[in-house]
Amino acid sequence: MYSLYAQGKDTQAMKAVVGEEALTEEDKLYLQFHDRFEQHFVNQGYYENRTIFESLDKAWDLLSLFQYKDLSKISSKIKDQFYMRAKREFDEDRNRAGKDGKKE
């Protein structure tokens, strides 16, 4: 996760120089990961009492933004166990939000 976050930081710096219009779709994905990582994973509220399992679920939700093949630093065994579940739940939430006309 840290390397994806670092890539997002680099992309954020590049965006400041070239503008968002010049970014590729992959660059925008790194920016989205960066923002969600800071907002939903790192910034745990003062009264939020998150378990390690809830933190891991949040981590997989973030990782599901990327294609399975792009998560090359995670072993296939671990990805097979957790990625598809997180991806399915992420897609279901996104589809539900789209039908309700809501945005995150």
Predicted pLDDT at 100: 57
Predicted pLDDT at 83: 84
Compute CA distances 34 → 6, 65, 101, whole Å.
Answer: 8, 11, 24
Which residues of the chain fall short of a pLDDT of 50? 102-104
How far is Cα 25 from Cα 5, in angstroms, rounded to an integer? 16
Predicted pLDDT at 38: 94
How far is Cα 95 from Cα 72, in angstroms, rounded to an integer? 27
Predicted pLDDT at 71: 92
Positive or negative, the CA dihedral 87, 98, 5, 29 is positive
Predicted pLDDT at 99: 63
How far is Cα 78 from Cα 13, in angstroms, rounded to an integer? 32
C-beta of residue 62 within 8 angstroms of C-beta of residue 33: yes
Predicted pLDDT at 80: 87
